[in-house]
Amino acid sequence: MHYAYRYRLHPTEAQRETLDHYRDTCRQLYNHALTEFEHIPNSAGTLNQRVRQVRDQLPDLTDWWDELNDLYSTVAQAAVMRIEDSIKSLSELKQNGYNVGSLNWKAPSEFRSFTYVQSGFEFDNKNGQTVLSLSKLADIPLTVHREIPEDVSIKEVCIKKERTGEWYASFAVEDKEEPAKPENPDRCIGIDVGILKYSHDTDGRAVGSLDLQDERERLKREQRSLSRKQHGSHNWEKQRVRVAECHQQLTRKRHDFLHTLSNYYATEYDMVAVEDLDVKSMMESAGNSQSTSSAAWDTFTTLLEYKCKREGTHFAEVEPAGTTKECASCGVASEKPLWVREHSCPACGFEMDRDANAAINILSRGFEAIGLGQSEATPVETALPLFTSSGAFDVVDGKRVIETGSPTLRERTAKAVSE
């Protein structure tokens, strides 16, 4: 399995200029390679073979392009091979129904990263500080908030400049094989996602959606201020960074919430079942497109899937049609408008919260999808701090979802004990 560890870099002002120059040289090389690639006919071979033909021209380019000699060899090769990855990404979008064009030259603001492959980088300690030594570049201090295990091999390092001006290093590592999944899982759960309650599972636990209204209001104010500035001026650039910081804060809070929630379900259960939602069609509807986008259900499902694979947990995506209408007790479908939040079956009289009923149906379909029988085990206890109680289920406020075992949780627990 492949993972990535991302660390914040702290370059000096001189190192920032060097990094920008290095990045721009890779951008110019990419643009040149793209032009050469377009001159190669499709009959010359597969996509990989045609891109490699362009890559093989690098030794000749260094004879007249002096700046290429400043690039580490694998960095230059990765900049050319990036064409193949970009074309594959466009093909996937086209297959998913998106209207895509062709590759174009990259502007300086669009090309924000370069990659060291296999070699040219190493950790080092200088003056009591951890630095990342990059060949032909610099020794850049970084914050190592999480150690990379010694038994994994680092495949590549991607150096990226965010729109806020911050620099990060992402280490792609290859870990051991994924653990085997249990043949007879005891702890199984179905999850129904929504907007008002982000998730409601079969253990009677509901997690409220993360409230990002204050962050969105600040983003709107900063965007209005940006629109009043003269494009390209010094004040415009300062305001552009503020807008980028607002976007970054929104993304970080949302991803932290989704990572924590998906990690909880992947580590606490042996089998997890969720709906395979068609978010693209929901986004195109005239309804709650903004709320649907903010919920990021696709991101949550993607995170949950790879973390279940990492933890050896069964993961099942089921057909969402009918999970809300069908009765979890007898299977009879009944129409319910969106504002009706309680399920009351006209056939058998079974009553339950609407989302809880859907979660049970999702779990049942998950058992069928992976060929397992239903478990009679007692549900596990929640590791999430409860906020309020509503009816027969517990509601966890989105901002209070904290990763089990995190330093913040330990500090709060110690404080509560002392008081």
- C-alpha triplet 43, 46, 48: angle, nearest 5°: 140
Strand partners, 389: 394
The pLDDT score that the predictor gives to residue 398 is 60
Domain boundary, last residue among 144, 174, 204: 174
Same domain, 203 and 302: yes
Give Cα 222 to chain centroid, integer Å.
25
Same domain, 78 and 205: no
Counting beta carbons within 10 angstroms of the beta carbon of residue 338, is it exposed (0 to 12), middle (13 to 18) or buried (19 or more)?
exposed
Residue spans of the chain under pLDDT 70: 1, 176, 283-289, 291, 372-419
The pLDDT score that the predictor gives to residue 310 is 86
Same domain, 301 and 342: yes
Q: Is residue 234 part of a domain?
A: yes
Q: Tell me which residue of 162, 171, 173 sits closest to 19, measured CA to CA.
A: 162
**Is the separation of the CB atoms in 100 and 93 below 8 Å?**
yes
Same domain, 41 and 85: yes
The pLDDT score that the predictor gives to residue 343 is 81
Same domain, 97 and 149: yes
Q: Is residue 182 part of a domain?
A: no
Same domain, 15 and 89: yes
Q: Is residue 60 part of a domain?
A: yes
Q: For 127-208, where are the E strands, in sequence order?
A: 129-134, 138-143, 153-161, 167-174, 188-193, 197-201, 205-208
Domain boundary, last residue among 147, 174, 201: 174
The pLDDT score that the predictor gives to residue 395 is 66
Same domain, 155 and 246: no
The pLDDT score that the predictor gives to residue 1 is 66
pLDDT per residue as tens digits for the range 81-113: 999 999 999 998 888 788 888 889 999 989 999
Same domain, 101 and 196: no
Q: Is residue 163 part of a domain?
A: yes
d(CA 27, CA 12): 22
Same domain, 113 and 237: no
Q: Is residue 181 part of a domain?
A: no
Q: Within a 10 A sphere around the Cβ of 358, how many other Cβ atoms?
A: 27
Q: Is residue 179 part of a domain?
A: no
Radius of gyration of the chain (CA): 25
Q: For 23-162, where are the E strands, in sequence order?
A: 113-117, 121-126, 129-134, 138-143, 153-161
Domain boundary, last residue among 174, 209, 231: 174
* Token pair recorded at residue 175: 């870990």
The pLDDT score that the predictor gives to residue 410 is 46
The pLDDT score that the predictor gives to residue 390 is 36
The pLDDT score that the predictor gives to residue 408 is 43
Same domain, 329 and 414: yes
Q: Which domain holds residue 74?
A: 2-174
Same domain, 214 and 326: yes
Q: Is residue 180 part of a domain?
A: no
Same domain, 151 and 192: no
* Domains in the chain, number: 2
Q: How many C-alpha atoms does 258 have within 13 Å on its Cβ side?
A: 20
pLDDT per residue as tens digits for the range 370-393: 876 554 433 333 333 333 333 445
DSSP 333: B
Q: Is residue 275 part of a domain?
A: yes
d(CA 399, CA 368): 34
